[in-house]
Amino acid sequence: MASAYAIGRDIHVGDTIVGIKGRVGFEAAAALITIKAHHLLEKHTLTKWQLQHKEYLSSFYGMHLHEGQYLDPVMRNIEAFLQSSQEQVSGTVMVTLKPYHFSLDGIISDHDLMNAKFGTYGEMNKGWTADEAKGFIKILGNQNKIYHQVNSEL
């Protein structure tokens, strides 16, 4: 369906294991939309630290796989993390196809962590008081405060 809109056409430039650059043109509309939709689901269902570590480990995994390091035991370790990180990543992503591009319009998931019952984003917040926010800021900034006090005296 998406290829009829000319979605997913691109050129990839990358590094080969022997140290030269390579370029390949491709069309992968379904793969592109699926990857982007899955990433949106992950952004809604994974925690900040799960997302950060998954991004790094998946990049590392892809590079090692591309360079023929599939049998290295670290690959099994990374696979275990990646598999367990996906346990709550499920739902429906709404996608709109347009000529030459597409938009992800939202998700529906039982595991969506972006839920108004846990708090609102912006100036109006009923989840904590101003004094609680000040205490949190003070604790969170303590390490940097100490760092600057120690290093500004030198």
- Predicted TM-score (pTM) of the model is 0.79
CA atoms within 13 A on the CB side of 117: 2
Same domain, 57 and 130: no
Residue 142, domain extent: 115-154
Pair of tokens at residue 146 = 């100490």
Phi-psi region of 89 (alpha: psi -120 to 50; beta: other; left: phi over 0): beta
Assigned token pair, 25: 């043109």
Do 70 and 120 fall into the same domain? no
Cβ 28 vs Cβ 21: under 8 Å: no
pLDDT, position 154: 65
Q: Flag whether pLDDT at 33 surpasses 80.
A: yes
In this structure, the answer to whether residues 78 and 105 fall within a common structural domain is: yes
User: How many domains would you assign to the chain?
Assistant: 2
Both 80 and 142 in one domain: the answer is: no
- Choose one of 109, 124, 144: the last residue of a domain: 109
29 and 61 belong to one structural domain? yes
Lowest mean pLDDT among 62-66, 74-78, 123-127, 130-134: 123-127
Q: How far is 34 from 93, CA to CA, in rounded Å?
A: 10
pLDDT of residue 116: 72
Shared-domain flag, residues 96 and 20:
yes
Q: Give me the half-sphere count of Cα atoms (radius 13 Å) on the Cβ side of residue 102.
A: 25
| Same domain assignment for residues 34 and 93 | yes
The pLDDT tens digits of the residues spanning 70-119 come to 999 999 999 999 999 999 999 999 999 999 999 999 999 999 999 777 76
